[in-house]
């Protein structure tokens, strides 16, 4: 841990020292930017993980991974704090995905209606499984463990706590 701290301090000092020369040379300017970026990453990591000091002694690759995780965690926190929960939606055969705010929806029917409009599709979900078979697509979601599940099998609130991503697949089977 001591080494980690000294390393961090050294990095900060290096950034401070190089600042006065930043304006004189574009090369040094680039160097300054790189150092600042690294320092920011380290700082961000230590802010979010108590074990950050332990990892800071390890290889830089671990720090990079930690930084990426910190950024993602920050993103999640920010989305939750402002009362929105955006997830990605992809439709089979369409290369460009969409993002939808599940917190702004009232339930499954609202979700299906919104996606029908977004993708100009007729989407099937669990409650309609026994009804007419003319719909060509089925809505599925990836949960925390990465398993793809059919939308509508669990209560809406439980769905919100597990969904990570949505996918509109072609319905291969016939009723």
Q: What is the contact surface with another protein in residues (CB under 8 A)? A: 5, 8-9, 12-13, 15-16, 19, 22, 32-33, 36-37, 39-40, 43, 46-48, 52, 68, 71-72, 75, 78-79, 81-84, 86, 88, 90, 94-100, 118-121
Q: Which is nearer to another protein, 65 or 158 (CB)?
A: 65
Closest CA to 105 of 129, 84, 126, 122: 84
Give the Cβ contact number of residue 45 at 10 Å. Answer: 24
> Could you give the CA distance from residue 7 to residue 92 in angstroms, rounded to a whole number?
48
> Count of residues for the chain?
175
Q: Which is nearer to another protein, 113 or 158 (CB)?
A: 113
CB of 130 to another protein, least distance (A): 27
CB of 61 to another protein, least distance (A): 17
Cα within 13 Å of Cα(26), Cβ side: 0
Task: Look at residue 141 and give its three-state secondary structure.
Answer: strand
The DSSP 8-state label assigned to residue 129 in this structure reads: T
Q: Which is nearer to another protein, 12 or 62 (CB)?
A: 12
CB of 13 to another protein, least distance (A): 6
CB of 98 to another protein, least distance (A): 5
């Amino acid at each position: 841990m001591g080494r980690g701290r000294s390393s961090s301090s050294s990095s900060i000092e290096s950034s401070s020292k190089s600042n006065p020369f930043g304006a004189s040379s574009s090369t040094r300017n680039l160097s300054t930017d790189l150092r600042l970026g690294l320092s920011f990453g380290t700082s961000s990591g230590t802010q979010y993980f108590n074990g950050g000091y332990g990892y800071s002694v390890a290889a830089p690759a671990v720090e990079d991974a930690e930084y990426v995780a910190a950024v993602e965690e920050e993103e999640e926190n920010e989305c939750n704090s402002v009362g929105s929960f955006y997830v990605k939606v992809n439709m089979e055969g369409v290369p460009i995905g969409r993002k939808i705010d599940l917190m702004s929806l009232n339930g499954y029917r609202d979700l299906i209606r919104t996606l029908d409009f977004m993708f100009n599709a007729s989407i099937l979900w669990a409650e309609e499984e026994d009804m007419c078979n003319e719909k060509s697509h089925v809505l599925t979601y990836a949960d925390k463990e990465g398993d793809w599940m059919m939308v509508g099998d669990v209560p809406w609130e439980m769905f919100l706590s597990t969904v990570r991503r949505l996918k509109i697949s072609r319905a291969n089977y016939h009723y």
